[in-house]
Amino acid sequence: MENLALAEPSAQLSIWALFWQAGWVVKLVMLGLLGASIWTWAIIVDKAVAYGRMRVALNRFEQVFWSGQSLEELYRTLSDRKTSGMGSIFVAAMREWKKSFEKGAKSPLGLQTRIDKAMDLALTREMERLEGRLGFLATIGSAAPFIGLFGTVVGIMTSFQAIAGSKSTNLAVVAPGIAEALLATAIGLLAAIPAVIAYNKLSADAGKLGGRMEGFADEFSAILSRQIDEKVAQKA
């Protein structure tokens, strides 16, 4: 009997038991934080895989682009495919290039401006795709501890109400409420810490990928600018 009496308090303070003993407000807080934690990890895994694929795609495109293949041939190869990264920037610039010359573009400066805008728009779309849902990680990283703290406050209030109702400060009376409060705080940190770390890491990775694409856009703009000058010189 003594062993059973000693085992019962620990059973009542297990995580599962604490969840079911908690009030509905604390339960909602815990469930919300657990859902946010699961979604956070789903975003982390998805972004890690997506960024890895983007690095491979950028490396492959750079190898093809600088291999000496003609721009027209490369454009024909990529124009009918679903492109991403540098490929999207390249296709957007070449499409504007061809449309402008098909319509008899007469202003080299206007053509260069349109090409740059087309590449900027393609780059913006790629960055939006890379940075999509990172804002959720930032929100969870900053808000989850406070949401957990809200559950903590409610749990402590429950403990005080139990003390007032029983007129006793016995640990058995206050322990469940305190344990609920600590569990809500722990779940909040469980959601926040990975979100903050992942947001900083993924934001830095997205910035590096964006820097590579922006650098390519600048280089390609210079290449097209030289070709525009050559065409203008030939006409003259």
pLDDT tens digits for 6-34? 444 444 557 777 777 777 888 899 999 99
How would you class 15 by CB atoms within 10 Å of its CB: exposed for 0-12, middle for 13-18, buried for 19 or more? exposed
Average pLDDT over residues 176-198: 89
Q: How far apart are CA 107 and CA 187, in angstroms?
A: 62
Q: What is the pLDDT of residue 11?
A: 44
The length of the chain is 236
Angle between helices 24-65 and 108-131 (to 10 degrees): 140
| pTM assigned to the model | 0.84
- On average, the pLDDT of the chain sits at 86
DSSP string, 55-95: HHHHHHHHHHHTTT--HHHHHHHHHTS---THHHHHHHHHH
Listed in sequence order, the residues at least 6 apart from 32 whose beta carbon sits closer than 8 Å to its beta carbon are: 147
* Structure token digits, residue 43: 């975003």
